[in-house]
Each structure stands twice: as C-alpha cells, then as structure tokens.
Chain A
Amino acid sequence: MTSAAATLPARPRRSRRRNLGPYLYLLPAFFAMGIITFYPLIYQVWMSFTDFSLKNFRVNGPAPNIVGLDNYIRIAQSNLAIPNFEFLRLVLFNLWWAFSNVVIHVVLGVIIAVVLNTRGLWFKGIYRALFILPVVIPAIIVATVWRNMFDPTAGAVNFLLQAVAGLFGVAATAPGLNLDWIRQVNDPIPFIPLPLAYFAMITANTWLGWPLNSVVATGALQSIPGELYEAAEMDGANWWQKFRTITIPFLRPAMLPFAIYGFVVTFNLFSLPYFMTAGEPFGRTEILVTQAYRLAYDRQLYGVAAAFAVYLFFLLLAVTLVTNRLAQATKSYAE
C-alpha cells in the first residue's frame, strides 16, 4: 500500500485510470441492484404513503390514492382489518424470539465445539460431519417436518414423550403426554406470557441453529495456541479458569459478530412461524416478516404491508446500532 502511494506522484496518468477502475468493477453489480433492489425499495416507501390495493396492480390500472401517514398510524394503533393484530405485542415477541434463540444457539454451539475439540477424542470427524446436517437441509423442509413432528395425535414428539414416560410405568394417556403443541391456547408456564407453540418453535430452531455456531466456534478454538493451555496447566489452573481466561477471550472476536448476524437472521426467519405454527395460536407466534407477508398476500393490503416493511427496516437498523454499540462497549471493557 505504502509503496503504491510512493510511486503515485511519479505516474499521474496511471493514477487517473486507477481512480476510474474501481467503478468499472462495481458497475455490473450496482446496475443490477439499482434495478431489482434499490428502485423497488424507494418505490416501496412511496407505496407506504398510498392505499395501494389489488386494482392498482394491473398494468395501466388506476393510480392509488395518497393517504399520507395513515398506514403508519393505523399499524401503530393496531387498527387494521385483520384479527388478532397487536403491533406492540408483535414487535416484543419478535425481539424476544430472536434474542432467546441466539443465546441458546451461541451457548450450545460453544459448549459442543469445546467438547468436540477435546484432544484424543474418538470419532471426531464423524461427529462433526453428522452435526452439520441441519445446516444443509432447506429451511422449508425443516419447518414442515417439525410441524408434523409436533402433531398432537400422530407426531413424533408426543410419541417420544410417551415412550420415555412408559419406561417409568406412566400410561400414554397421562396428561402432558398428548400435548397440542401448536394450537394450545393456555400458556404452559402461568407467569410467562408465551404460548406452547413458542416452545415448539424454539425446539425446532435450536435443532436448526446451534450447528453453524459450533462450526464458527471450532474455527476460533483451533486458532488458540496450545501453549497457552499448557502454561495455564503448569500454573495449576483448573478447567473453568482456563475456559474463562483463555477460551472465551479467543472466541469473542469470532462469536460476537456471528451472534449479531444470527440475531438479524433469526429476527427475519420466515420459515418456522409461517410453515410450522402458521402464527397459531391466535397470531401469537407471528413475527413481523410473516405478518407483512400475510398483509400483502392474504389481505391484499399492499400499502399497509409497505409501511410495515418500512417499520421493519427502522427496527432492524435500531437493533444493529444497539448491538454494535454493545459489542464495541464490551470490547473496550475487555481490553
């Protein structure tokens, strides 16, 4: 870099060409994105201020009416012509859904990566190959298969509960062994306002989510110099002390950005709330993206759906800014 800067004044013609070069490399991608990404996004913002509906869809159809901030206000007031819609509850559930998942994924991913990294462990390669399986299976298959598994009368989860209970001599008809996982209305834990379907979803998403965290953690673990552990052992450090003072500081730089990325991905995870629970019971496991899709596809409220997407964007922006802040703050604290 410095050598290039030193030669620049000597060759002014070349430097001018260099200044244009980068844009030529960017042109194809940004030309495509301009048409299929940025233009639709701007169009979407315009749509959010209109009452865009089915009749405006047709080629040469009538232009929609401008309604100002009406869509935004109606969403914020939960004043939409759809059942069980409560904006604040939806946002809070969505944030909690992403947060709870990421915590579980990261903790499980790190623990399993550490266990698998044990020196001299047999069949390491086989375990690593098997544990990556959930990552490879398309999300729609994962969600639909788990939907079947949580079926109240013919699902594998209830069969498994019954089989385990049977070992202790409990009859298969006992309460709690024939759960209506997805549609049960009463909350399973009285003081926590989360439906049983949430716990079903989090079970499925845990299965789906920890392996990739484990892959990332394994990569970071293998970059830790073995001498550090040896030195710590010489000093008589126990397992927990080594984990806390060596493993965690080395995992941090890899796991933190991945956790933020995971938060955004889970926040926007369409497949589970759509294919697995379909928002049941009573829209309580709906998240923002599935609600936006229903507004557009089931209800043809395109203007409202567009305003919804704009809300979604600002929420994600806030989430990213806050998590980045937290990451920066804890980083400087650790160093």
Chain B
Amino acid sequence: MTAATTTGPASKPRRKSAASSRAERPLPLSRQLIIQVICLFITLTVLFPIIWIVSMSIDPRNIARPDALNLIPPGASLDAYAKVLTRPTGNDISFLGLMANSLKIALGSSIVAVGLGVTAAYAFSRLRFRGREALMIGILGVLMLPSVATIIPLYVFLNQFRIDFGGLSFNLRASLIGVILAVIAGQLPFAIWNLKGYLDTVPKDLEEAASVDGATQFQIFRKVILPLSIPAIAVTGFLGFLGGWSEYLTCYMFVGGNVPDWTLSIALNSMVGGFARTTTWSEFGAFAILFALPVSVVFFIFQRYLVGGLAVGGVKG
C-alpha cells in the first residue's frame, strides 16, 4: 500500500530547488484568509453558548424567558448576579454557602486521590512485583465503570456508620465527608492511571544516576520522581478538582435532603426545567457563570502546564 503510493509521485520529474523554496515560503495570503474565516467560524460556534448565557445574565428586565438574540440587552444590569449571590434558590442558603460546600468536596477529593494515587502510580510505573498485571487490570476495570455503578452500594455501606465525635453526631452517608469518600472512589483509579501514564514517559536516567549515588528507593521517589511529576500532578489534581466541584449525582443522593449541605450543582439543577418556576433565566445565567468562573480562571492561569498534560493523560488514559 504505502510503497505503491510513494513510488507513484517519485517517478515524476523532481523540481528540487522549487520545492525546497516552497517549504520556506510564508503562507499565501489567499490561503491565510480562507483559514482565518474557517477559524473565526469555529470560534463563533464555540463562543455562541457562552455569549448567549452572558447576555442572558445581564438582561435588566430579569425576564422569565428571553424573546430574541441580543448581544447586550437594552439597559444591561447586574441585578441577577446580586440576587443569585444572596439567595440563588428558594432555600435558605447563599452562593457562598453553596460554594464552600463545593470547594470542600473538590479540595478534599482531589488532594486525597492525587496523594494516594501518586505512590501507587510510581509502583506501577517503576517497580516490578508479583501481581502487577492483575492489579492494573483491576484498576482499569474499575476505571471503566461509571460512578452510577458504585453509588448505590456505597450509599448502603456508608449509611451504616454513625459518627459520634465530640459534640457532633451524624450519619456518615448524610454528610459532606460521605460525599467526599464517594467522589474519591471515582477519582482514585483515574488518578493512578493518569499519573502512571505520565511517569511511563519520564526517562529513567535521573533515577539511575541517583541510584548510583546511593539514594534509597524512597529518596528517589521523594527527590526525583515527585518533582518530575508535578505537571501530571497538576493536571490530575485539576481534573479531580473540576470533577468534585461539579459533582451532582453523589451530592444529590447523599445530602440532597439537607439544605445547609447543598452544593452549587444541586442548586443549578434546581434552577432549570420543571423546578425552575421561581427562577428567571437571567438568574440561571448569572449562576451558571459564577459556577464556571473559578475553575475556568484556574485553568487559564495554569493553561501552559495543563494543556500538555491533558493530552498525555488522554492518550494514556
């Protein structure tokens, strides 16, 4: 196949000097413009939902339903944001309260998952031991399963525990700690897999040099492997944070009945569709933007590290 196609063009007379000068010549203006038009069109499709939601959120009429496409609606205002920040839903919890709960889940789950994941990933990537293959297949199998598949038994399991600690007494399932545990269950296999995939691409020269210098295995792990895997830790941590920040299933099932434990995702879902009788679309838009903003800002600050890592993790995942 390949041989046939390469010999075909090769039999043509070669125009060596012309070809090499063409490779260095800048892009012809006509082609540049055509590609720019294509890229602008793609940009529009990417930005369309975002522009729609932003313009909806600043609509001053705070209308129940928008009635046309307006980039900046007449007399734009931030009223919807003010309303959403103080009391986004019909329930007695402010945006900051919701955000604090989401933040606890996001931080708790991503830190634990990455912390536990990085040591296991090191063992899988660098060490040879009995049962390695079987354990890795086990992790891969769990990785494939959606969180829905484990949420029911986890619910039953965590429901058995009553925690009595100091003055606090609560059911482990009906608490944010229970949610965090369930979210970790989903994130840990991914963290191990993603970090292992990254470590596999790191050359072993440095470790061998450290080993020659008499470093112990743990020293190698701490002084060589950990610093080298910071980009992968950042990506895995960010993805874990994003997952915990927007986790809905577990939150709704575990703490949906207790308003002080509500998260941003529960509130957002209560603002759309059949539940949304008291919410205007402006408020929904404002809430969605405030919900997405923190993670987007973090992403764009660390974009340089994250984009490359996303690609590596994706390939290996």
Q: Which residues of A pack against B, CB within 8 Å?
A: 3, 18-19, 21-23, 25-26, 28-30, 32-33, 36-41, 43-44, 47, 52, 57, 59, 112, 115-116, 118-123, 127-142, 144-149, 151, 153-154, 156, 159-160, 163, 207, 211-212, 215-216, 218-219, 229-230, 232-237, 241, 244-245, 249, 254, 257-258, 261, 264, 268, 270-271, 275, 278, 289-290, 292-293, 296-297, 302, 305-306, 309, 312-313, 316-317, 320
Considering the complex, which residues of chain B in the window 121-163 have a beta carbon less than 8 Å from any beta carbon of chain A? 122-124, 127-130, 132, 135, 138, 141-142, 144-154, 156-157, 159-160, 162
Q: Which residues of A contact B296 (CB under 8 A)?
A: 133, 136-137
Given contacts A19-B129, A32-B116, A140-B265, contact A215 B145 (CB under 8 A): no
| Residue on A nearest B140 in the bound complex, by CB | A320
A41 near B2 with CB under 8 A, answer no
CA distance A134 to B242 in the complex (A): 13
Given contacts A39-B157, A43-B153, contact A270 B27 (CB under 8 A): no
**Residue among B12, B128, B130, B146 making CB contact with A270, cutoff 8 Å:** B146
A43 near B32 with CB under 8 A, answer no
**Residue among A41, A234, A292, A293 making CB contact with B19, cutoff 8 Å:** A234
Q: Which residues of A contact B45 (CB under 8 A)?
A: 207
CA distance A123 to B27 in the complex (A): 13
Given contacts A36-B182, A129-B300, A235-B9, contact A120 B314 (CB under 8 A): no
Interface residues on B, range: 35 or more
A215 near B314 with CB under 8 A, answer yes
For the A-B complex, the count of residue pairs with Cβ-Cβ distances under 8 Å equals: 291
A133 near B46 with CB under 8 A, answer yes
B268 near A140 with CB under 8 A, answer yes
A219 near B308 with CB under 8 A, answer yes
Q: Which residues of A contact B69 (CB under 8 A)?
A: 156, 159-160, 163
Given contacts A216-B314, A230-B20, A245-B6, contact A154 B67 (CB under 8 A): yes
Q: Which residues of A contact B147 (CB under 8 A)?
A: 270
A261 near B314 with CB under 8 A, answer yes
Given contacts A59-B160, A233-B19, contact A215 B153 (CB under 8 A): no
The 3 residue pairs across chains A and B that have the minimum distance between CB atoms: A138-B246, A40-B153, A268-B146
**Residue among B9, B124, B311 making CB contact with A236, cutoff 8 Å:** B9
A166 vs chain B, min Cβ distance (A):
11
**Residue among B47, B162, B221 making CB contact with A130, cutoff 8 Å:** B47
A270 near B246 with CB under 8 A, answer no
B214 vs chain A, min Cβ distance (A):
12
Tell yes or no: B198 within 8 A of A by CB. no
Q: Which residues of A contact B23 (CB under 8 A)?
A: 229-230, 233
| Residue on B nearest A158 in the bound complex, by CB | B69
**Residue among A25, A57, A127, A159 making CB contact with B119, cutoff 8 Å:** A25
Q: Which residues of A contact B182 (CB under 8 A)?
A: 36
**Residue among A131, A140, A215, A233 making CB contact with B310, cutoff 8 Å:** A215
Q: Which residues of A contact B10 (CB under 8 A)?
A: 235
B269 near A275 with CB under 8 A, answer yes
Given contacts A241-B5, A245-B6, contact A305 B152 (CB under 8 A): yes
B19 near A145 with CB under 8 A, answer no
A245 near B150 with CB under 8 A, answer no
B310 near A135 with CB under 8 A, answer yes
**Residue among A122, A249, A264 making CB contact with B32, cutoff 8 Å:** A122
Given contacts A130-B43, A156-B52, contact A25 B122 (CB under 8 A): yes
Q: Which residues of B contact A138 (CB under 8 A)?
A: 242, 245-246, 265, 291-292, 295
| Residue on B nearest A290 in the bound complex, by CB | B148
A212 near B314 with CB under 8 A, answer yes
B153 near A306 with CB under 8 A, answer yes
| Residue on A nearest B182 in the bound complex, by CB | A36
Tell yes or no: B284 within 8 A of A by CB. yes
Q: Which residues of B contact A136 (CB under 8 A)?
A: 242, 292, 295-296, 299-300
Central interface residue in B138, B156, B192, by most chain A CB within 10 Å: B156
B157-188 near A? 1/0 per residue, CB < 8 Å? 10110100000000000000000011011001
Tell yes or no: B210 within 8 A of A by CB. no
Tell yes or no: B253 within 8 A of A by CB. yes
CA distance A218 to B42 in the complex (A): 16
Given contacts A23-B129, A156-B49, A156-B52, contact A29 B272 (CB under 8 A): no
A316 near B273 with CB under 8 A, answer no
B151 vs chain A, min Cβ distance (A):
8
Considering the complex, which residues of chain B in the window 269-301 have a beta carbon less than 8 Å from any beta carbon of chain A? 269, 271-273, 281, 284, 288, 291-292, 295-296, 299-300
Q: Which residues of A contact B311 (CB under 8 A)?
A: 215-216, 218-219
A154 near B281 with CB under 8 A, answer yes
CA distance A233 to B24 in the complex (A): 12
B197-219 near A? 1/0 per residue, CB < 8 Å? 00000000000100000000100
